[in-house]
A and B are shown apart, each in its own frame.
Chain A
Amino acid sequence: MKIKSIIFVPILLFLVSLLILFQNYQKTGDFIIKDIDLKGGTLITVETSSPVDTKLLENALSQKYGSVLISSLKTISGYGVSIQVSAETNTSAILNDVKSLGINPISYSVETIGPVLGSLFFQQIVYVLIVAFILMSLVIFIVYRNPVSSFGIVFASLANILTTLALTSIIGIKVSFTGFAGILMLIAYTVDTNIVLTNKVLKASPENFRSQYRKALTTGLTLIATITITMFLVLFLSTSKLLINIAEILVVGFLSDLPYTWIFNASILEMWIGRRHK
């Protein structure tokens, strides 16, 4: 079986991702679920020594402050909750209410960001992403001086970013400003696996394409195994919201890289090698 016979899988995935992003935009005005630092708001993180009844807390606070988002978190030293409210809310009043509900914070942190600054951050980071992508593409074209394999890498990378963003919005992962660091890392990582693939098969003949592809895949799967397990450890062990957000995005991105590198880009290279040897 030729790899190119299943090239429809990544192409379909890409189209579905575009559809999801487009639908998100129609429904909410945003392509992704933005975290508060990109849309504005206040996030209070309270750490406690015993588990917190989030339902009770949510009921009590939402009566007083309107829309309140509460989620529980577990840290190495104990338990905690994060409380998300609009940027105008008085944070010390909320902390007092939390205490009056019998919750005793060991420590807490407060993060407030105005809506204007949030959208400024979003604009800037999207700009960074676009420039980074263009620079990366230039490097690829200069290094390979081969339009076909360069296109394969650049497209796989672009498709992977868009699919990762679409998948985060389906799973419900909020993307923060720092989360975009994860997207930038994803560019670097996707290109890594594609370089391994391209370097291994580009000079191959159609006959030994399969064996070279298999070697590249062995390396590629080892790469994904080590880096995914590291990111899972970040997800489970880290107490930093920022690090966790990066890890979430990267785990999704590593998985969605598989079809684009090992099916789409491999198919392009297979077809190109086949044509060259005719």
Chain B
Amino acid sequence: MSIIRDFRFMVLMLLLLISAFYLVTPYVFAKSGVVVSFVDADNKCKNIIEGDSINQVGGSIIRTSEDFDKAMENIKANDFVSMVVNGKPSNCVAIKENYIGIIVKDVEVGNLKFGIDIEGGTRVLLKPKGNVTKTIIEETISTLNARINLFGLKDVRVTPLGENLIQIEMSGASGEDIRDFLAKQGKFEGKILESINLQNNTGRIILGDNTYTLQLQGNKILVNNSLYSINQSFYLENIKFDIFNTTNSSAFLLANTFTGTDIVNVFTDPEHSAINPVSGGYQFTFTIGINIESAQRFAKITKNQPIRFVGSEQYIDPVLVLFLDQNPVSELNIVASLAGQEITQPSIQGFRETRDGAITERARLQAILKSGSLPTELEIAKIDTITETAGKELINSTLLLALGAALAVSVIIFIRYRDLKIAIPMILISFSEIALILGFAAMTQVLTGGGGWVLDIPAIAGLIAVIGTGVNQLIIITDQMLLEQDMTVKFRHKTAMNIIFTSAYIVIAAMIPLILIGIGTLKGFAITTIIGVLIGIIITRPAYMAILERVKKLY
């Protein structure tokens, strides 16, 4: 019977074909051009959305993101830019110099997906402060995902790690987005800062139509017969007042008006959300909707407050300060005509030196307010940043390594057996093991629509380990079949299979705890090893046996 008809060999060939299909075909049918990865909310383009592919800009053909950047070089604000998008004509009006409101990336070819540690990017481990339950971790992750979607971040993965860690992986970007945005707890508070004038250490708190007496004793404050120090709080008519600071002539109080949970709506439409140039930079504004209880508190706190003039405008003396995680983020003057009104749509303002900075900050604040605060405070336990060059180098060195190892192992095998009929099948079988594992990885990506198995450095370590032990198993099979001449071939076959199966059980037993424990980074190693060992005992080693039986004419 020829080898081609051997069942074991047929299975290997069939699966190699399937692997080749998943690994090679994407390169054959690759789209050319670049893909739109981000569309600015302020864009003036004709129907361009994320995922569109751009073929031409201003008459020049675009093949890579570098071509696109080059095409942007000569563009000035308000230039009309003609383009070919998805093979059809389209156009944009430039928002500013070198920018038409679109960011592109190169088309990703291939079904294999590599980890952050290879592709470049940032991996951050977040640890909740104090003890938290599983539900809190789950809530935190869903809030983080909401923020990511609201802000429009791409290629971000949030996963639980072990019992109380959260891992965020972002390709391309730096850790700044995670530190300054995602990992922020996002506890939002609107408080009205009142400065109470003191005469003979006594002042008056105005609240609606009532007034309350306040007395300074040392650096403590006496209200309603109780003493409070700085940073403590007291209640008047169910409104919480924080004591912010005291001086000889004034007491500064923060009247708690609303918090993140009182927010019922965050407006992002152009009518309620704007960026305006001001001296020294850009100001952003957007409106939020708060519930009626907060609006009533606002009315009570602002009513009857003293008036001051800024230019010709009339404002009440107290200002509204917005806090994010206890840090003031914006300070707003309150127009005198709004004092005492039940305002349900206060606006939020902020300032950044650049327009991009203002747009980003506005988007971050909006996403944080919409997604709500995280149920727990997070601290950054670990940050890994890997640049793309380092990752490319790693792939190159791994390819070099694979070739070097194949060569070195071939030489040893040849020295040991002095027989190309053994050495060549052994090397070919090892390469087909790599192909089957990578093919499987590519297949999981295709079948899950991109959510499959990601190859990271530990997975590559696993691959090397599998190939190393794989060659070992082939040597064990060869020696068992060729050296034990006094046993029947059938018995030798049985013993060889016993050895490689026992060895496979051991590897799987040693890897299972790594998968169960869930501290991520070595999971890829364990999974690769187990899959590799299974492919080895089920497919490639039986196929090798089939080849060996024929080339050495054992039957």
Give residues in A with beta carbon < 8 Å to B. Answer: 45, 47, 75-77, 106-114, 116-117, 120-121, 124-125, 127-128, 131-133, 135-136, 138-140, 143, 177-178, 180-181, 184-185, 187-189, 191-192, 195-196, 199, 215, 218-219, 222-223, 225-227, 229-231, 233-234, 237-240, 242-243, 246
Contact = CB atoms under 8 A, between A and B. Distances in A.
Contacts of A240: 394, 397-398, 457, 460
B476 A223 contact: yes
Contacts, number: 201
A129 to B, nearest CB: 8
A117 B381 contact: yes
B413 A226 contact: yes
B511 A243 contact: no
Contact of B461 (A107, A111, A178, A218): A178
B461 A76 contact: no
B14 interface: no
Given A47-B389, A226-B413, A136 B506 contact: yes
Contacts of A121: 519
Contact of B381 (A114, A191, A222): A114
Nearest to A216: B479
B15 to A, nearest CB: 24
Interface stretch (B252-260, B274-282, B463-471): B463-471
B409 to A, nearest CB: 5
Contacts of B529: 185
Interface residues of B, number: 65
B479 A47 contact: no
Contacts of B397: 75-76, 237-240
B380 to A, nearest CB: 8
Interface stretch (B298-306, B370-378, B494-502): B494-502
B475 interface: yes
Interface in B482-507: 483-484, 495, 498-499, 502-503, 505-507
Nearest to B379: A114
B330 interface: no
Interface in B508-551: 509-514, 517, 519, 521-522, 525, 529
A199 B503 CA distance: 12
Interface string B152-169: 000000000010010000
Contacts of A180: 522
Given A192-B506, A219-B479, 18 more contacts: A76-B400, A110-B384, A111-B383, A124-B162, A178-B525, A185-B469, A185-B529, A199-B499, A215-B483, A219-B476, A226-B408, A226-B413, A226-B471, A229-B409, A230-B405, A230-B464, A243-B461, A246-B461
Nearest to A184: B510
A225 B464 contact: no
A196 to B, nearest CB: 6
Contact of A226 (B475, B517, B521, B522): B475
Nearest to B395: A239
A107 B465 contact: no
Contact of B507 (A45, A112, A188): A188
26 contacts: A45-B390, A47-B390, A76-B400, A109-B390, A111-B383, A112-B383, A117-B125, A117-B382, A124-B162, A124-B519, A128-B514, A128-B517, A132-B512, A135-B513, A136-B506, A140-B506, A184-B514, A185-B465, A189-B472, A195-B499, A215-B479, A218-B479, A226-B408, A229-B408, A233-B405, A238-B398
Interface of B: 125, 127, 162, 165, 381-390, 393-394, 396-398, 400-401, 404-405, 408-409, 412-413, 416, 457-458, 460-462, 464-465, 467-469, 471-472, 475-476, 479, 483-484, 495, 498-499, 502-503, 505-507, 509-514, 517, 519, 521-522, 525, 529
Contacts of B388: 107
Contacts of B506: 136, 139-140, 187-188, 191-192, 195
